[in-house]
């Protein structure tokens, strides 16, 4: 909503883009595969550095595709990225200080120590910086007009 109101100022006439069925189908297939693996072979779900791979596939690759395929649209994402970086950063520091979650594992590419809390570098790169940009990439490709 932030993006549509402040950056991409145009009214969308339709509520459903036909391309959304591909995203929905992919999501359902991934969920089914995960569920079957979890039930039948849970050891296959033990992926080293999962946080890194998950971030690359879910945030970095969609954003890179958007950047090269529709560079004129990607420029509009930067304002949204800055806004949500600030929000994610504040939320992360607050949540870690209040004990809402922690990062006890060792399979991170590095850690950041800031304001009395420690969190993985992956958290900064994928969730602070790239999450909003990746969501907008999915949105523009599957539901908006790519303009």
* 16 part of a folded domain: no
* 39 part of a folded domain: no
Pairing mode, strands 111-114 and 117-120: antiparallel
Total domains present in the chain? 1
* 97 part of a folded domain: yes
Residue 16 pLDDT grade (very low, low, confident, very high; cuts 50, 70, 90):
confident
The HSE-up count of residue 69 (CA atoms within 13 Å, CB side) is 12
Q: What is the pLDDT of residues 52-69, one digit of tens each?
A: 999 999 999 999 998 888
Burial 102-136 (b: 16+ CB within 10 A, else e): eeeeeebeeeeeeeeeebbebbbbbbbbbbbbbbb
Q: What is the pLDDT of residues 27-43, one digit of tens each?
A: 999 999 999 999 999 99
Q: CB atoms < 10 A from the CB of 3, how many?
A: 19
| Residue 96: φ, ψ to 5° | -70, -40
* 122 part of a folded domain: yes
Residue 141 pLDDT grade (very low, low, confident, very high; cuts 50, 70, 90):
confident
* 31 part of a folded domain: no
Q: What's the pLDDT score for residue 36?
A: 96
Residue 136 above 70 pLDDT?
Answer: yes
Residue 146 above 90 pLDDT?
Answer: no
Q: What's the pLDDT score for residue 139?
A: 83
Q: Which pair of tokens denotes residue 51?
A: 């946080």
Residue 137 above 90 pLDDT?
Answer: no
Q: What is the pLDDT of residues 77-128, one digit of tens each?
A: 888 888 899 999 999 999 999 999 999 888 999 999 999 999 999 999 999 9
Burial 36-75 (b: 16+ CB within 10 A, else e): eeeeeeeeeeeeeeebbeebbebbbebbbebeeeeeebbe
* 8 part of a folded domain: no
Q: Provide the residue range defining the domain that includes 107.
A: 62-147
* 68 part of a folded domain: yes
Q: What's the pLDDT score for residue 147?
A: 63
Identify whether the C-beta of residue 124 lies closer than 8 Å to the C-beta of residue 146. no
């Amino acid at each position: 909503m932030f993006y549509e109101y402040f950056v991409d100022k145009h009214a969308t006439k339709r509520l459903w883009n036909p391309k959304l069925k591909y995203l929905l189908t992919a999501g359902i297939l991934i969920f089914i595969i995960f569920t079957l693996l979890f039930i039948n072979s849970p050891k296959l779900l033990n992926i080293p550095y999962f946080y890194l791979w998950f971030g690359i596939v879910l945030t970095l690759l969609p954003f890179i595709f958007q950047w090269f395929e529709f560079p004129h649209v990607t420029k509009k994402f930067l304002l949204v990225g800055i806004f949500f970086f600030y929000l994610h950063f504040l939320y992360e520091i607050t949540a870690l200080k209040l004990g809402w979650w922690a990062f006890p594992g060792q399979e991170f590419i590095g850690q950041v120590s800031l304001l009395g809390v420690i969190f993985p570098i992956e958290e900064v790169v994928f969730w602070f910086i790239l999450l909003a940009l990746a969501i907008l990439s999915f949105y523009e490709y599957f539901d908006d007009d790519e303009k």
